[in-house]
Structure formats: structure tokens, C-alpha cells
Structure 1
Amino acid sequence: MTETPNPHIIDADTLTGEMRPIRRAVLALGSNLGDRLASIQGAVGAIADTPEVWVTGVSPVYETEPVDSPAGADTYLNAVLLIDTTLAANRLMDRALAVEDAFDRERSDVANAPRTLDVDLIVVGDRRSDDEHLRLPHPRAAQRAFVLKPWFDLEPDAVLPDQGPIADLLAQIGTDGLVLREDLALDVE
């Protein structure tokens, strides 16, 4: 991913004159509890309302089988957002967690437990991070068709840093278990 200029903003801190880079970021959204579409739509709206964040693309909605989830978990609705932002990656992560909390996300020790909302940072510009709070690029994105396919729909020539072109990654893992929900659509409010 490259640093992408955004024509909607002047990228300077008006108090200090300090320039902050504009980064393209990819966020993956998912929900398999409650009103799944309302939760994902609410996340789109909350992210779009975030200062220093500009939504530049919203993928189609896919219904997907749970991956590595407890037995009996319901299917997910998934989508991907492309944004431009001047927020630092850790501040964007904090915002993603706050949006999840606003939609009653319950955290548990059960891996991949069902959730009302999941907001994952997949990439933030060319930023790399491997700490407990933030891992970039997302460590499992290359194996997740529910991330790669919606992202591919928006940016077929995108590259997942350290992994390669998403088209190649998607060709390797396939799209079994993904169903395009043409009857559902997300709007930037």
C-alpha cells in the first residue's frame, strides 16, 4: 500500500504546522450475533464520523461460514472499508476497539467466539507492528477469504505487505464458504 493523498483535507496541524502523513488503511468488519447488518452499518457510520478519517471505499457484503470458531457459531456478515487517515495506527486501533464496545462486543478467552461486531485493522499504510496491542499487517489476513475477497472487490491490484498481491493470495485459498449478499448494501452515512 502506498501513502495516498486525500483531496478533502489540508494535512497540517494548524497549531504546530507539523505535517502528518496520510495513510491508506484497510479495515475488516464482521458480525455474527444480533442484528448483523445494523452492527456493520453502525461501524461504517462510526468510522466515517471519526475525525481525521475519510472513508474512500465500502465493499459488498458477504455472508461467510465461521472460521476457527466454537461449534454452533452462526454465519458472519463481512465487509471491508478503505479509508484515508492521518491518525496514528495505535489511535486508529483504539477507535476500532471503541466502535466494537459501542456495539456491545463481549470479549472472552474463547478464540474466535461469536461477536456482535469485529473491527480489524488489516493494513495502515506501510506501518509494521508486532506488539500485544497492535499487529500490522494483520497476521491472518492472507488466510482469510472473508477479508481478501471484499478487499479485492475494491482494490484488485492491492498488495498485502510482506505477503504479496491479494489477487494471488485469494487464488491460493479460494472463496469457498463466501456468499455475496446482493440484497444487502452498506452506505457511508
Structure 2
Amino acid sequence: MSRNLTLTPDVPSNRTGRAEVVAVVAFGANLGDREASIRTAAERIARLPLVSDVKLSSLFETVAVRLDGPAPDAPGYLNAVALVTTRLAPEILLGMLHAIEDEHGRVRQERWGDRTLDLDLVAYGDETSDDPRVQLPHPRAAERLFVLEPWLELDADARLVGYGRIADLVAELRARGEG
């Protein structure tokens, strides 16, 4: 739909002692100016402390999905994925992503409901976590073409820890007509 975007802010030297890691952040919006919300959120992420690079995929148009399945009558989503190079701890990054959602008027009334902006921390390097506050990788990432396809666009060799190659996951979901 549109071209990739790379944002590289000025970053001070590493004072955290934490090594840089590439985090995968999924973007979605189906209310308001969806494209502007996604692009503005990517720019905001690039300005976070301890973030040194943000690569945003193309935007993908998808049908809304509710708890009971696809909802073609609901407003459609624009989705994207960003590879975020950061030294922020995953729980700090996730908290900052939630703050950016709030800045865009995100209201958390209905699970799987319409939203102005949704930011999910999909992966954080090869880290895994069962902590309910920050589950890594995202528990449904391997089932979502709207996450995997933009990620694959950015990194043809990408792997989802515990699941394998993104290209294989995409092929499997397409073959089953899922995602």
C-alpha cells in the first residue's frame, strides 16, 4: 500500500548496560485517520529514549477480526510492523507503547473491539516470557498474517522464537486459508 519508512533518531551513548535488541512491534488501527495514526506512532517510537532505529513496513489493509471471527461489516484495519532497535527493557517498552496508544485516544472498553491505535510487542529478540504483564513472544503472533506478512517484508530471514521461520508460518497459514 505504501513504502517502508526508516527512522533513525539521535541517540546518546549506551549508559544502561543493556545490549541493543531488535523488538518487533505490530501496529493496527481501524478508526480515524488510520495511516496518520500508524505513521505518527512510529515517529513517536523513534523518539523514545534508548531507541536507535525504527523500520516500518508497508501498510496492509485487513478485515476486522472479532472474538468470533472475521467481521467484514466493521471498519477495516490498516496494519504494519516495525523493527525497533532498542536498549529499553521489554516491560518498559511495552509501557511506553501503551502510553502512545493513550496519546492516540485508545479506549480499552471491549476486547477485540474497534480502536484508534493498537500497538503490540510481538517479540523482543529471542526472549521468552510467560509473565501476564508482558508475554513474549506475543501469544497469537504465529496465527496472524497481518503481523507475519509485514514482518516478513522487513526481514526475509526472521524467526519467531518457539515457532520457527516467519516465511514457513506465512506459507502454512496461507495454505490453510487462515490468518
**TM-score, length-normalised on structure 1?**
0.81
Shift of 1:9: 5.7
Structure 1 range deviating more: 95-104 or 124-133: 124-133
SS at 1:113 equivalent = coil
- Contact 1:143 / 1:173 at 8 angstroms: preserved in 2? yes
Q: How does 1:150-189 map to 2 (within 5 A)?
A: 150-174=150-174
- Residue 182 of structure 1 corresponds to none
1:22 equivalent in alignment to 2:45: no
Alignment-derived partner of residue 92 in structure 2: 91
Q: Secondary structure of the residue that 2:64 maps to in structure 1?
A: coil
Q: Is the contact between residue 158 and residue 166 of structure 1 (CA under 8 Å) also seen in structure 2?
A: yes
Relative to structure 1, the CA distance from residue 69 to residue 35 in structure 2 (aligned partners, 3 Å threshold; closer, same or farther) is farther
Contact 1:48/1:55 (<8 A) preserved: yes
Segment drifting more, 126-135 vs 157-166: 126-135
Q: How many aligned residue pairs are there?
A: 167
Which residue does 2:146 correspond to in 1?
A: 146
CA distance in 1, matches of 2:58, 2:50: 24
User: Do the aligned residues in 1 keep the contact of 2:56 with 2:81 (CA within 8 Å)?
Assistant: yes
What is the 5 A alignment of 1:121-140?
A: 121-140=121-140
- Give the 3-state SS of the residue equivalent to 2:49 in structure 1: coil
TM-score (norm 2): 0.86
The offset of 1:26, in angstroms, is 0.7
Partner residue, 2:114: 114
Contact 1:69 1:114 in 2 (8 A): no
Deviations 1:80-135 (A, max 9, x none): 11111000000000000000000000002x32100000000011112211222111
- Hey, what does 1:81 align to over in structure 2? 82
Deviations 1:19-66 (A, max 9, x none): 211111110000001111111111111101111112342111110011
Q: Tell me the secondary structure at the aligned position of residue 79 of structure 1.
A: strand
% of aligned pairs identical?
A: 44
- The alpha carbon displacement at 1:157 in A equals 0.7
**Which residue is 1:181 aligned to?**
none
Distance, in Å, in 1 between the alignment partners of 2:160 and 2:154 is 14
Where does residue 52 of structure 1 map in the other structure?
50
Q: Which has the higher contact order (CA 8 A, sep 6+)?
A: 1
Which consecutive unaligned segments of at least 5 residues does structure 1 have?
A: 1-5, 179-189
Structure 2: stretches of 5+ with no match in the other structure: 1-7
The SS at the match of 2:105 is coil
